[in-house]
Amino acid sequence: MFKILIVEDDPKIREIILENITKWGYEGKYVEDFSETLNVFIEYNPHLVLLDINLPYFDGFYWCNKIREISKVPIIFLSSRNTNMDIIMAMNMGGDDFIQKPFSLDVLMAKIQAIVRRTYSYANVESDVIEHNGAILNLKDANLIFNDDKVELTKNEFKILYILMKNNGKVISRDKIMRSLWEDESFVDDNTLTVNINRLRKKLSDVGLGDFIVTKKGQGYII
């Protein structure tokens, strides 16, 4: 079932939207604490976002930009603001469509169906990110984001973090990590892995993730 996140501060509008998308067979959720919009997005991992522009704390343009840093999920702007500049800005920020309020629910559903069909008919719907305790690993550009800090990762550092975060809570042996780094006939030995782990830990520590990777002596590593 496709999931839709509603970021709308008018309770009546968001309830009507939620009711209608549910009738059409979609799963829906709306944001209640608008200061936590990005965290709700990451946790819910929707297939589409309906995003108002005028919101408490930060406007929809801000949240669109934050979402675009970690995901290419379709975003439809919903707004009573209808100047050409608003529409152009919404598209330039990464929006996929713009619907002016008041709008027809039939038109809204038609646009939702069209975008979902176009985006996911021939695509893998897996998430573009892995998140753990506020650390977000972007699978598209191989960077880590934590508290608005971006950590640039090397190819090997990304692969190490990917396998550990994908299996968070499980101990991953050094042998398994080294096998995951065996690509393009390039052999990674035990000393090289140690160097990569140490460099990765230093980068994580610099942004406040000092204990993110834990060593289990004689077993391997665990997130």
Structure tokens at 158: 């990304």
Ranges of CATH 3.40.50.2300 domains, the chain: 3-120
Is 80 exceeded by the pLDDT of residue 121? no
Domain range 3-120, CATH architecture: 3-Layer(aba) Sandwich (3.40)
Strand order in the sheet with 48-52: 27-30, 3-7, 48-52, 75-79, 97-100
Higher pLDDT, residue 55 or 184: 55
> Per-residue confidence at 85, pLDDT binned at 50, 70, 90?
confident
Mean pLDDT score of the chain = 88
Instruction: Give residue 184's pLDDT band: very low, low, confident or very high (50, 70, 90).
Output: very low
Q: Which two tokens stand for residue 130?
A: 């892995």
185: confidence class by pLDDT, cuts 50, 70, 90: very low
Residue pair 210/133 in contact by the 8 Å Cβ criterion: no
Domain 129-222 class, CATH top level: mainly alpha
- Where in the chain is CATH 1.10.10.10? 129-222
Question: Is the pLDDT at 47 greater than 70, yes or no?
Answer: yes
Phi, psi at residue 214, to the nearest 5°?
-110, 135
Q: What's the average model confidence in pLDDT over 131-144?
A: 83
* Residue 186 clears pLDDT 60, i.e. is over it: no
Query: Average of pLDDT values for 28-40?
Result: 95
What is the share, in percent, of the chain residues with pLDDT greater than 90?
Answer: 54
pLDDT of 122 reads: 52
Read off the pLDDT band of 188 (50, 70, 90).
Answer: low
Residue 105 has pLDDT above 70, yes or no: yes
In this prediction, residue 145 carries a pLDDT of: 85
- pLDDT tier at 140 (50, 70, 90 boundaries)? confident
